């Protein structure tokens, strides 16, 4: 089995549970912004989760949805959008016209993040920008959980999917960060393409059981995720069989049994998105390797209060 | 009446209420740390409140209490302190031995800030460090609410108090930031000394009525604050008579009447420390000029939700 250095950075252990900043630190700083990533890395959170989508001119950019997300995208006049154009229909230059520094308090989505800083003049970053900043000496401990969002509209367009992976992998290679990057997705067949194109980078498999899904106003991932209900094997077994090194379950899907199973199979278990203190303590108790959170400081506090580290000295 | 540019930066108005980061952004980042100040300034909070105390070798340093605060100071071995040496008895070099990057979750104080990032290797900054960073072009909109903490043990030592003010003022002058700094204190006679030594800098008068004081595990300020109960005039009148330009009341002391009175007298009203959304909305409703908060993003969100700005374009 190949040993991937990037995988070890996400591995927990005795007295060690990792903290992963979700879209930077979405609870405190505009999500998927350079400011959020720099804040996370500066505040003892070198593990970053973020989302990559591709523009019409094939630039990998960092944003969660396939469409401009109306509650966080503002136009020239400073108003939140009322329609949601597709990222795949906009060029990089067009995308830079939108400001992502605020969140609409009138939206359900906005009401979930009442402490988030509100800033003007924040743009969607390219993957390249994040890779360049992460390459700086001051962030040498940073590792990236690079989620590739596969647009359901292109789910059966093999050429498009190859191009998406090619563009992403090319950026990572150009930055020299392939030993510090995980390729991460809900789309398992896309991860197979990643393994094919970039065997030197580990893959990380996201799951969410439909029965535990909550509607949180974001893109549905169900249409591109496997149907686990028809499988004989457990999810950890399926991840291993698919060549994955990390299993990243939704927090309500995690049990003591499936964590033990995953560990027995050599997988790392990184759970998303864990924000409530009671859930954080439950994940600590279940012995997961890593906790993905919008409030990484809150996770650090829960860990510190139990004498658990999140960084290796 | 002299017009102080620094005062205007704290003035509210129609559709405008200022946000002041309390000790940086104490709710999210270790208090009175350079990381906290840089985070606040980077996230649309150019107005910084912080506390200055003087070391044994007369270096103005940024920390709240006169003693090392056990719940936030750790020694070489990484343990929170069990005794609290006085800052005035430690040299600058000795002070640098302590780490202020975490907060003790076992303390009442620590339990107040469950979301604060926990970081190793954070030191007490000098006033000079903050002034130097604030002088950088990228922070040209930053203004400082520099609170001088007067040690009760030196309350009657006129020479010591003059020296404290002299050291602080000298640092501000050396940085050239005297047009961007308020001198701020609970100790009104110390502010008189500030006016004497630095007439080019405005003074900002803190108050807290004893009847509304809550025990929050910090240094008491009562011993150095005037006794308002024996005064004929209202507090805003007393501030104006003492040459103050800002009145900074405790949030529970603010009423529609005293805000109106202060405004009629030409004062700016900056209220501390406002963290709960219900209190933030009450302060907005009362028409204060500025809100000091440990959670400045939360204040931005409350303001944005009402269509109120906190920055002048």
Mind listing the pLDDT tens digit for each residue in B261-280?
999 999 999 999 999 999 99
Please tell me the predicted confidence (pLDDT) of residue A211. 78
A220 pLDDT band (50/70/90 cuts)? low
Let me know: does B64 contact B23? Beta carbons within 8 Å. yes
CB contact under 8 A, A296 and B39: no
CATH of the domain at A187: 3.20.20.190
> Which residues in chain A have Cβ-Cβ distances shorter than 8 Å to B296?
117
CB contact under 8 A, B117 and A295: no
What is the rounded average pLDDT of the residues A56-64? Answer: 98
Let me know: does B36 contact B29? Beta carbons within 8 Å. yes
A223 pLDDT band (50/70/90 cuts)? low
Q: Which residues of A180-301 form beta strands (DSSP E)? A: 181-185, 203-207, 246-249, 268-271, 290-293
With pLDDT > 70 as the criterion, what percentage of chain A qualifies?
A: 96
Cα distances (Å, whole numbers) of residue B234 to A198, B222, B230, B231, B238: 73, 18, 11, 8, 6
- With an 8 Å Cβ cutoff, is A122 touching chain B? no
Q: Which of A24, A25, A43, A309 to mutate to test the interface with B (most CBs of B within 10 A)?
A: A43
Candidates B47, B300, B111; CA nearest to A29 is B300
**HSE on the CB side for B126, CA within 13 Å?**
18
Question: Cα separation of A142 and A311, whole Å?
Answer: 11
What is the rounded average pLDDT of the residues B205-233? Answer: 75
Question: Cα separation of A20 and A68, whole Å?
Answer: 25
CB contact under 8 A, A301 and B118: yes
Q: Collapse the DSSP code of A206 into the 3-class scheme (helix H, G, I; strand E, B; otherwise coil) and give the result.
A: strand
- With an 8 Å Cβ cutoff, is A245 touching chain B? no
Residues 6+ apart with CB under 8 A from A26: A36, A113, A116, A294
B25-54 exposure pattern, b = at least 16 Cβ within 10 A, e = fewer:
bbbbbbbbbbbbbbbbbbbbbbbbbbbbbb
CB contact under 8 A, A304 and B102: yes
B54: part of which helix (H) or strand (E)?
strand B47-54
Q: Which of A46, A101, A106, A117 to mutate to test the interface with B (most CBs of B within 10 A)?
A: A117
The backbone torsions φ and ψ at residue B269, rounded to the nearest 5 degrees and listed phi first, read -110, 115
- Is 90 exceeded by the pLDDT of residue A213? no
Q: How many beta-carbon pairs under 8 angstroms link A with B? A: 84
Please tell me the predicted confidence (pLDDT) of residue B219. 59
ipTM entry: 0.94
CB contact under 8 A, A297 and B103: no
In this predicted model, what pLDDT tens digit does every residue of A279-307 receive, in sequence order? 999 999 999 999 999 999 999 999 999 99
- Is 90 exceeded by the pLDDT of residue A216? no
* Structural domain contains residue B269: yes
Query: What is the 3-state secondary structure of A4-65?
Result: CHHHHCCCCECCECEEEEECCCCCCCCCCCHHHHHHHHHCCCCEEEEEEEECCCCCEEECCC
* Structural domain contains residue B151: yes
Let me know: does B238 contact B226? Beta carbons within 8 Å. yes
Interface list for B 175-234 with A (CB within 8 A): none
User: Residue B253: which domain range?
Assistant: 5-67+125-305
- Return the structure tokens found at B311: 């920055």
* Structural domain contains residue B287: yes
Question: Cα separation of B78 and A218, whole Å?
Answer: 42
* Structural domain contains residue A189: yes
If you search the block for the tokens 């840089």, which residue do you land on?
B38
In this predicted model, what pLDDT tens digit does every residue of B101-116 receive, in sequence order? 999 999 999 999 999 9
Calculate Rg over the CA atoms of chain B: 18
What is the rounded average pLDDT of the residues B160-167? Answer: 97
* Structural domain contains residue A162: yes
CA–CA min distance B273, chain A (Å): 16
CA–CA min distance B27, chain A (Å): 10
Let me know: does A59 contact A94? Beta carbons within 8 Å. no
> Which residues in chain B have Cβ-Cβ distances shorter than 8 Å to A39?
39, 42-43
If you search the block for the tokens 């020239």, which residue do you land on?
A76
Question: Cα separation of B216 and B65, whole Å?
Answer: 13
In this predicted model, what pLDDT tens digit does every residue of A120-144 receive, in sequence order? 999 999 999 999 999 999 999 999 9
A229 pLDDT band (50/70/90 cuts)? confident
B147 pLDDT band (50/70/90 cuts)? very high
CB contact under 8 A, A116 and B28: no
Q: Collapse the DSSP code of A258 into the 3-class scheme (helix H, G, I; strand E, B; otherwise coil) and give the result.
A: helix
Question: Cα separation of B1 and A203, whole Å?
Answer: 67
- Return the structure tokens found at A173: 């290679």
In this predicted model, what pLDDT tens digit does every residue of A45-54 receive, in sequence order? 999 999 999 9
Say which of A101, A296, A298 has its CB closest to residue B114: A298
User: How many Cβ atoms are within 10 Å of B62's Cβ, its own excluded?
Assistant: 26
A210 pLDDT band (50/70/90 cuts)? confident
Handedness of CA B211, B255, B21, A69 (dihedral sign): positive
With pLDDT > 90 as the criterion, what percentage of chain A qualifies?
A: 89
**Structural domain count of chain B:** 1
Say which of B105, B120, B300 has its CB closest to residue A301: B105
Candidates A24, A19, A25, A40; CA nearest to A304 is A19
- Is 80 exceeded by the pLDDT of residue B213? no
> Which residues in chain B have Cβ-Cβ distances shorter than 8 Å to A101?
44
Residues 6+ apart with CB under 8 A from A48: A20, A21, A24, A37, A40, A41, A130, A134, A142, A143, A144, A145
Residues 6+ apart with CB under 8 A from A105: A111, B301, B304, B305
pTM, two decimal places = 0.96
Q: Searching chain A, which residue's CA lies closest to the CA of residue B313?
A: A120
- Return the structure tokens found at B1: 């009446």
Q: Which one-letter DSSP state was computed for residue B107?
A: S
Let me know: does B168 contact B146? Beta carbons within 8 Å. yes
CB contact under 8 A, A115 and B301: yes
Candidates B106, B118, B110; CA nearest to A309 is B118
> Which residues in chain B have Cβ-Cβ distances shorter than 8 Å to A298?
114-115
Say which of A45, A117, A295 has its CB closest to residue B297: A117
The backbone torsions φ and ψ at residue B270, rounded to the nearest 5 degrees and listed phi first, read -120, 115
* Structural domain contains residue B258: yes
Residues 6+ apart with CB under 8 A from B155: B187, B223, B224
* Structural domain contains residue A14: yes
* Structural domain contains residue A282: yes
> Which residues in chain A have Cβ-Cβ distances shorter than 8 Å to B42?
35, 38-39
């Amino acid at each position: 089995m190949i040993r991937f250095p990037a995988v070890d950075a996400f591995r927990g252990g005795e007295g060690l549970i990792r903290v992963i900043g979700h879209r930077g630190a979405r609870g405190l700083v505009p999500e998927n912004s350079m400011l959020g990533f720099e804040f996370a890395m500066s505040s003892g959170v070198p593990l970053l989760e973020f989302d990559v989508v591709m523009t019409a001119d094939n630039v990998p950019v960092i944003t969660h949805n396939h469409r401009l997300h109306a509650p966080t995208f503002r136009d020239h006049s400073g108003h939140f959008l009322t329609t949601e154009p597709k990222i795949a229909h906009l060029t990089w230059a067009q995308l830079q016209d939108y400001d992502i520094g605020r969140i609409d308090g009138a939206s359900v989505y906005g009401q979930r993040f009442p402490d988030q800083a509100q800033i003007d003049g924040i743009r969607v970053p390219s993957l390249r920008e994040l890779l360049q900043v992460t390459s700086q000496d001051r962030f040498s401990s940073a590792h990236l959980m690079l989620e590739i969002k596969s647009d359901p509209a292109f789910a059966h367009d093999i050429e498009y999917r190859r191009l998406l992976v090619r563009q992403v992998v090319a950026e990572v290679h150009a930055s020299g960060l392939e030993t510090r990057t995980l390729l991460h997705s809900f789309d398992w067949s896309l991860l197979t393409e990643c393994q094919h194109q970039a065997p030197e980078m580990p893959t990380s498999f996201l799951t969410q059981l439909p029965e535990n899904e909550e509607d949180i106003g974001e893109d549905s991932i169900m249409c591109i995720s496997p149907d686990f209900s028809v499988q004989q094997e457990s999810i950890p077994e399926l991840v291993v069989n698919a060549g994955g090194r990390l299993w990243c379950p939704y927090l309500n899907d995690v049990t003591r049994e499936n964590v033990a199973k995953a560990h027995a199979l050599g997988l790392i278990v990184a759970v998303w998105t864990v924000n409530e203190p009671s859930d954080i303590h439950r994940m600590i108790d279940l012995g997961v390797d890593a906790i993905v959170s919008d409030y990484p400081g809150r996770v650090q506090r829960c860990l510190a209060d139990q004498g658990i580290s999140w960084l290796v000295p």
